[in-house]
Structure 1
Amino acid sequence: MQVLYGVVVLVQTQTVVNDLASASLVPKVLPTEMLAASNSALSVNSSVAGIAGNGLGGGLVQLAGASLAVAVDAVSYAVSGTLLLFLRSPSLRTARVRGRRGIVGDIKSGLAYVRQDRVLVALCLTSGIGALAVAIRDASLVLALVRDLHFSPALVGLLAMLAGLGGVIGGLLASRVAKRLGFGRSVLWAIVVSAPAIGLLTSPFGVAAPLVVGLGQFIAGASGAVYTIGQLTMRQLVTPPDMLGRVNAVRRFLVYAMLPVGGLVGGFGGVHVESRAMLGVAAVVMLASVLPLLAADVRPGARP
């Protein structure tokens, strides 16, 4: 377990660096009018990878054990890093971030910039609360599927693939939804839909348990993609390129601060209370994440 803890810390540390850089890179290479479409394409790509990864992961664990599955995952990281070496763009070669003040100064300037913008404050708070709900859901759902329903690893992986499939559909529809409703409303409605999707998971103990869980996973994946694309594009539109990395870091810190809290709440509650009850708590927390957006009145939003 000590080795596993160390690996997780290293992987997640590099994941944060990668995600912040990739989210800040898109506006440097594409014009503003293409941001929504490009974010949708990236989201679809990620969801397709998630479908394949969850299916392969569950199958590998079932057939060859968890150790081999983790080893295959390590190889996939190496391949991904190698592919990035072929990324070429004149704008990236000449790009320079102005206003840097060192690590501490950058943190302070990022926080100060977020605090002065009501939209950014609302997006960051909503993301943090939503991350708490997702972490509670994920920890409770695993307990419910494995301990209470006795699902096999392959079936758990298959159900997780449905979330990825929903992400593909949501990614394809996100730009169209934003054009019709505006980014602000599309983000709000995505959260409102996500809460009942989690609620579907609170009653997976009947005859059609796999179907109920699968439907909840699919809807959550689709609404999650619409939310992710909408809020990311809003941040890119309202934030200057030189500040975008620091603003993304502020949001990311709130999200990652909530994930372990939600994992502990979901795991502890699932063991000592009931997994189904904790899934209900996750649904309520998810619905509550719309409050900062409503308080900031971001409903009109921006249109692509």
Structure 2
Amino acid sequence: MPYLLISLPAGLIADRVDQRKLMIACDLGRMTLLLSLPLASLAGVLSLAFLHGLILTCGVLTVLFNVAYRSTLPRLLTEHQLVDGNAKLTMSQDLGELVGPSIGGVLIGVLGAARTFFANALAYLTSAVTLWMIRAEPVDRSAGAPEERRPLRAELTEGIVFISRHPILRSLLLCSTTSNFFVMASGAIEVTFMVRELDAPSWLVGVVYSISAVGGLVIGALSRRISERVGSARIIWVAMVAPGPLYLCMPLAQPGWGVLLYGIGLAAFSANIVLYSVAATSYRQRVTPAHMLGRVNASVLWICYGAIPLGSLTGGGLASTLGLRTALWICVLGTWSAALWVFFSPLRTMRNLPESRTVPEPEPEFSGV
């Protein structure tokens, strides 16, 4: 819900305030909220309503943080370092997703579920401290910005308008949204598929997800070299097209060790996510004016993340109606089809990203149906 409700206002806020201070405030806010959970449990006042309110508030702070952090990197790195910098951020996220559940399981066993949230609070405090340690020259956020004050609605939707008039950013948005929709559709049924159709025990399901995470980490470590070899712009559509055949391993998986075919398909998708996301984010950071990067990033999150719950519901509906394996075939082919948006776009004629954060001439507006 928070991505659907406040992404656009979050973008405007990120464009108007010091983004580093905003991220620190979000970290400290989430730390405080998560500390309240074990304290409420110890005091005997923990309830489902309390959890719902805490999750929603944490979600709001997470949206603000994610919009700000996607807009901060260009302040810290040169343009030629953006691809490598985004790759390292993606790798750190994949590593956290790989080891986090294992650490969480151990802590739950030792401390109990509620007390484990003390560790989450410590993690947010660590994040806030490391952000505070960053020393960067402040950016003049008014540079290139319109001087006149405009209606709030116009400022909120400026990111969407900018994307809609930029042919490559528009193609990237459509590609990401299509991919998110079908990936979440398959994600909603994949554990059920492995357990019911493939008779996979829980430990083997864990191995499958580990294979997937390792695939993303390996490609993340090599992403700069791959980008330089293939081309920093060309890699966007290559990353979407090339791994597609391996996605088919997922519905082709069979019981026994054939379950590992599913892991191969997931690993291919993890590699795709790293290469595509790094290059697409770097392109967006290059071509978007600094004064509106927050709103453009927020617009992308609003639409792309808004497709996630719809995809999950669709995956469950397809599985219930057509069966798990048939639904999975539809999902993986739908995921691969997202590549069409970037393959049939101006990116196919480009090798490298533009050298400066200049705004290409937008498409003219037109009237008609």
The answer to whether the superposition gives a TM-score over 0.5 is yes
Q: Which amino acid aligns with 1:36?
A: V
Higher relative contact order (CA 8 A, sep 6+): 1
Is contact 1:132-1:258 (8 Å) kept?
A: yes
1:246 to 284, 287, 295: 295
Q: Which amino acid aligns with 1:230?
A: A
Q: What SS does the aligned partner of 2:348 have?
A: coil
- Tell me what 2:232 maps to: 183
Superposed CA deviations along residues 46-83 of structure 1, whole A, max 9, x for unmatched, are: 2222221244456677x579946973673365335433
User: Are residues 8 and 193 of structure 1, via their aligned partners in 2, closer, same or farther at CA, if it must alter by over 3 Å?
Assistant: farther
Q: Which amino acid aligns with 2:84?
A: A
Is contact 1:137-1:266 (8 Å) kept?
A: yes
Superposed CA deviations along residues 217-274 of structure 1, whole A, max 9, x for unmatched, are: 2222112111111111111122122221111112111111110110101122223432
1:143-292 to 2 correspondences below 5 Å: 143-292=192-341
Superposed CA deviations along residues 152-186 of structure 1, whole A, max 9, x for unmatched, are: 54443332222221111111222222222223321
Aligned pair 1:52/2:99, yes or no?
Answer: yes
Percent identity over the alignment is 24
Give, in whole Å, the separation in 2 of the partners of 1:65 and 1:262.
Answer: 36
User: Are residues 167 and 254 of structure 1, via their aligned partners in 2, closer, same or farther at CA, if it must alter by over 3 Å?
Assistant: same
**C-alpha deviation, 1:131, in angstroms:** 0.7
Q: Which amino acid aligns with 1:232?
A: T
Is contact 1:170-1:226 (8 Å) kept?
A: yes
**C-alpha deviation, 1:127, in angstroms:** 0.8
Aligned pair 1:118/2:163, yes or no?
Answer: no
Q: What SS does the aligned partner of 2:347 have?
A: coil
Superposed CA deviations along residues 71-100 of structure 1, whole A, max 9, x for unmatched, are: 3673365335433452332324x5535448
Aligned pair 1:90/2:136, yes or no?
Answer: yes
Q: What SS does the aligned partner of 1:96 have?
A: coil
**C-alpha deviation, 1:294, in angstroms:** 2.9
Is contact 2:160-2:299 (8 Å) kept?
A: yes
User: Are residues 8 and 300 of structure 1, via their aligned partners in 2, closer, same or farther at CA, if it must alter by over 3 Å?
Assistant: farther
**C-alpha deviation, 1:296, in angstroms:** 2.2
Is contact 1:162-1:218 (8 Å) kept?
A: yes
Aligned pair 1:78/2:78, yes or no?
Answer: no
Q: Which amino acid aligns with 1:181?
A: V
**C-alpha deviation, 1:27, in angstroms:** 0.6
User: Are residues 235 and 135 of structure 1, via their aligned partners in 2, closer, same or farther at CA, if it must alter by over 3 Å?
Assistant: same
Give, in whole Å, the separation in 1 of the partners of 2:238 and 2:295.
Answer: 27
Q: Please, what is the CA RMSD of the aligned residues?
A: 2.9
Is contact 1:139-1:267 (8 Å) kept?
A: yes
5+ long unaligned stretches in structure 2: 1-47, 354-369
User: Are residues 106 and 161 of structure 1, via their aligned partners in 2, closer, same or farther at CA, if it must alter by over 3 Å?
Assistant: farther
After TM superposition, the structure 1 stretch with the greater mean CA deviation from structure 2, 189-198 or 260-269, is 189-198
Greater radius of gyration (CA): 2
Is contact 2:181-2:310 (8 Å) kept?
A: yes
5+ long unaligned stretches in structure 1: none
- Tell me what 1:41 maps to: 88
Matched pairs, number? 302
Is contact 2:199-2:256 (8 Å) kept?
A: no
Where is the helix percentage greater, Structure 1 or Structure 2? 1
**C-alpha deviation, 1:32, in angstroms:** 0.9
Q: Report the TM-score, using the length of structure 1 for normalisation.
A: 0.86
